[in-house]
Amino acid sequence: MIAYLKGIIKDRQPDSIIVDVNGVGYLVSVTKEYLERSGLDESIELYIYQHLRENISELFGFEDKKELFFFKQLIGINGVGPKAGLAIISTLNMEQVKTSIIKEDASLIQTVSGIGAKTSERIVLELKNKIFMDETSSTGKVSKDIASHQDVIEALVGLGYTRNEAIKTSQKVPADLESTEEKVKYALQNVNK
């Protein structure tokens, strides 16, 4: 199984590149954004997802492990194959998709060609409790709040709250509380007040 490639871009195609690794060329599907800013003879490193089916082996390349992990989460959803997953990340950036999922807004994901209403709703439904924005996210303060209250959000979701309810409730917890238990107790006592 191929998990990583380091080499030189030998050729570019509409949705993929050929990576020369010591004289062997690998055809790797990449995002449009990556394709646009990469040039021939450029030295690159990619994390790879290898998709095997019947007599076909396809490679999908990502710049970092976070993007690869998110791609794997997307294709883990029934009805979202590797090409659809790559199309989602190509059309929207990863942070836009995560924000849509957290806000439980499937309409943005539905704008991706080939992704219908049912599939976009399924993506939101299945990933809403698994997505955490990075602290470096372009969405700013909300993402940092989510990251800093991750333990409280997980606990509240485990108690039956929706992801949005858990996020809103966790943001009311004072910063001076130290343990997760204290934070969750405060959140439960002060919910809807």
- The crossing angle, in degrees rounded to 10, of helices 150-158 and 141-148 is 70
Give me the average pLDDT of each 10-residue run along the chain (193 residues).
95 95 96 91 96 92 92 93 93 86 88 91 88 46 53 78 74 79 82 56
Fold equal for 4-62 and 65-127: no
Q: Residue 53: its pLDDT value, please? A: 87
Q: Residue 30: its pLDDT value, please? A: 96
Superfamily in which the 4-62 domain is placed by CATH: Nucleic acid-binding proteins (2.40.50.140)
Q: Residue 82: its pLDDT value, please? A: 95
Q: Residue 182: its pLDDT value, please? A: 84
**What predicted TM-score, i.e. pTM, was given to this entire model?**
0.68
Measured CA to CA in angstroms, residue 2 lies from 10, 60, 73, 123, 169 at distances of 19, 10, 19, 27, 43
Point out which residues pair with 18 in neighbouring strands: 11, 27
Alpha-carbon span 173 to 151, nearest angstrom: 12
Query: Domain-by-domain residue ranges, the chain?
Result: 4-62, 65-127, 149-190
Pairing outcome for strands 4-12 and 24-29: unpaired
Q: Residue 99: its pLDDT value, please? A: 86
CATH of 65-127, one of 3.40.50.300, 1.10.150.20, 3.40.640.10, 1.10.600.10: 1.10.150.20
